[in-house]
Copies of this chain bind each other. A is one copy, B any other.
C-alpha cells in the first residue's frame, strides 16, 4: 500500500473577511540563530539570508548589533552585513538589523544600513533583566537611538517583548502593553512587533490585545505579531491576529529560535507552517514553500539537528 508523494500545497478554501495579503517578516537569521548553542559560520549565515530572499521572503532580519559578550553567536554582525552588501548591494543595505542601544545603532550607521529594530519590554522585570533598567527608563534609553536613526533617514521597528506573559510576573495587563507600545511609536518607531516571548498567549488574548491597540488609535497596519510555539499556540494565535486585521507576522524558517534571556522561550512560529496556513486560505504571501523547506533542511544539516517545523518534517521526510 505505497503512497504517492503528498501534494506540496494544501487545497485552497478562502474565508470571508480575512486580509487578501500578508507580509511575513522573517526572523530566522537573527532571532533563530542568536539562540543556537554553537556559532554558525558567517558564510553559512550569509547563504541562509540569500536563500530566504530567493524563496520570496520580503523582509529578512539579518542579525543584531548586540554586544558579543551577551550574544557571541552574532559577534560577526558587521562582517555578515558587509558580505551581504557586497553581494546584494542596495538589497543588502535594506535588510533590517536589531540595534539594542546607541552603540549598536552607530555600527549600523557606519555600514550605511537602512532598517533597524529596537527591542523593548512590556514588563518591569524583563526590562530589568534584559535592559538593566526600569520599564520607564527604557524609553529614555531608546529615545536617542530612535531619533538619531530617524534623523539619518532610517526606518525603526520596535519589538515589544513579553506582551502576553512574563516568566517572573505572570500574566501581563493588556493596558500596560498598549501603553509601552504607544510610547515606542511616539518616539518614532514605524511598526510594533508584539511578541509572545514565552509562548503562553492564547487566541482570545491576541484578539483582545490587537483590539485594544485599535481602540487606542494604533491601526493594525502599524502592528506585527511575533509568536513562539512553546505551548503549541503560535499558529492559532496568528489566525486570531489575522482575523483581528493584522497583516504582518514574524516567523522563522524551520521554526528556529527562542530568546537567550528566557529559557522557557522555545522556537518561533515556523515560516513554513505559516505559509501552509496562508496558502490554504488563499492569502497572498509571495513565498515559494519548497524553497524555504529546502533552506530549512539545509540549515538543519548545518546546525546538526532536525527542524521543529511540522511542514518541514512532512515535506522533507
A→B interface (CB under 8 Å): 1, 3-4, 6-7, 10-15, 18, 129, 164-165, 167-168, 170-172, 198-205, 207-208, 229-233, 235-236, 238-240, 261-264, 266, 270, 273, 276-277, 279-282, 309-311, 313-314
Contact = CB atoms under 8 A, between A and B. Distances in A.
Given A6-B264, A15-B204, A205-B13, A233 B273 contact: yes
Majority secondary structure, A binding face:
loop
A253 to B, nearest CB: 14
Contacts of A203: 15, 239, 277, 280-281
A45 to B, nearest CB: 25
Nearest to A274: B232
9 contacts: A1-B129, A10-B200, A12-B204, A202-B277, A204-B282, A232-B309, A233-B273, A239-B239, A239-B240
A279 to B, nearest CB: 8
A167 B6 contact: yes
Contacts of A164: 11
A5 to B, nearest CB: 9
A270 B231 CA distance: 11
A310 B170 contact: no
A277 B280 CA distance: 22
